Structure 1
């Protein structure tokens, strides 16, 4: 079995299973420190199926983009478990996992996470009978620029995000009826989707080399670098 975890947004999720079956899945939407909830969540899913560490065959984690603190907690926990238990580790993009919610749709799938100041972490995938083909790699976008690119296509676009409410008006203004704005469950990363991606992937070659996909420097680090005279 593979243990999967996601701490990249305020929704924390853990799942246990393999390529064909989700044995247990747990999520919480409470906006509390993930460091206080992740290990109890792992313990919960393990006990639900009477599993022990020796039953695990791998550890999968979303490495971002997303919340700086949240991603760091998840990556550190996954690396620690994979190292201690000598297990393969799977590095999964939070945006790819989120896009999986609409992999059977027809058109483009655009998962995004708000990055403030009119920016979003986003990627664009083309859905094809359950498979996702990358159309635009994940990166930090100005939402207006991303929408201009999507407006140039003729395909329907499915937007998936916990932060969709703050962008809905702009999305629908630019794309009109081609915009399909997911709500509720569509906007959160499902731990079971992380399991699916991991089971179809190759584990990382060096657990210790895995780092969060921040896509930009944290605000505190930006300020420190400026104070030290660094220029991007």
Structure 2
């Protein structure tokens, strides 16, 4: 099965083309540029370089969040449009799960992928590999870094942290967890779109029209609007 994977949920823009267990092609950048104008040219370039036509694709897999509100929305919208246009199935995968899978297959403990969420907060979850299968031990959520490390202290396993935003929270993590905290190498910090494709390969297809991103929290503008209008009545 030929799968096109799309990840624009954070700064990293990732596109991959996978055929069963073979990674045909992969495109990754980790720069602060507008994904909305870059993702379709990236898809077109990858398909062209891999001698693949759009009608050859049999499934779309997209990183569904959490992450950047705009980035997640861009990826999901394009994935839905392509799946509907090509009349092929679509599956969504946690952006944090992709990050965990990109770094932790060799690690003997648990894996905590993270994205910075500002104000001392992170998007994170807890994962573990068992017999080459990635298990979800704690659902993706938004939390203060200090609250998350205190929760991890209740576990006995070493913890591998991974993500491009590690530098923001590394000092707090090391202070709280000491030598139980491990950090992925710099070459492992980008979520790999090929891992996204593999994770979504056997996932059940979603209803394209009802599929929505997993933002975890409201966009800041939306949250402020709700707070400002709380208790008011429409005239």
Query: Which 4+ residue blocks in structure 1 deviate beyond 3 angstroms?
Result: none
Q: Residues 230, 71 of structure 1: CA spacing in aligned structure 2 closer, same or farther, 3 A cutoff?
A: farther
Shift of 1:118: 1.1
Q: Distance in 2 between matches of 1:178 and 1:18?
A: 38
1:121 and 1:138 in contact (8 A); partners too: yes
Matches within 5 A, 1:55-66: 55-66=56-67
TM-score, with length taken from structure 2? 0.94
Is 1:213 the counterpart of 2:218? The answer is no
SS in 1 for 2:155: coil
Structure 2 residue runs without a partner (length 5+): none
Deviations 1:139-179 (A, max 9, x none): 11111111001112221100011100011111111111111
Is 1:29 the counterpart of 2:30? The answer is yes
Q: Distance in 1 between matches of 2:7 and 2:216?
A: 17
1:95 and 1:123 in contact (8 A); partners too: yes
In structure 1, the partner of 2:230 is 229
Deviations 1:203-229 (A, max 9, x none): 11x101111110001110011111211
TM-score, with length taken from structure 1? 0.96
Shift of 1:230: 5.5
Give the length in aligned residue pairs. 230
Q: Distance in 1 between matches of 2:131 and 2:62?
A: 25
CA RMSD of aligned residues (A): 1.3
In structure 1, the partner of 2:108 is 106
Q: Residues 19, 149 of structure 1: CA spacing in aligned structure 2 closer, same or farther, 3 A cutoff?
A: farther
Q: Distance in 2 between matches of 1:73 and 1:134?
A: 25
In structure 2, the partner of 1:139 is 141
Deviations 1:12-38 (A, max 9, x none): 010001330110100112211001110
In structure 1, the partner of 2:157 is 155
2:61 and 2:201 in contact (8 A); partners too: no
Matches within 5 A, 1:121-136: 121-136=123-138
Q: Residues 25, 230 of structure 1: CA spacing in aligned structure 2 closer, same or farther, 3 A cutoff?
A: farther
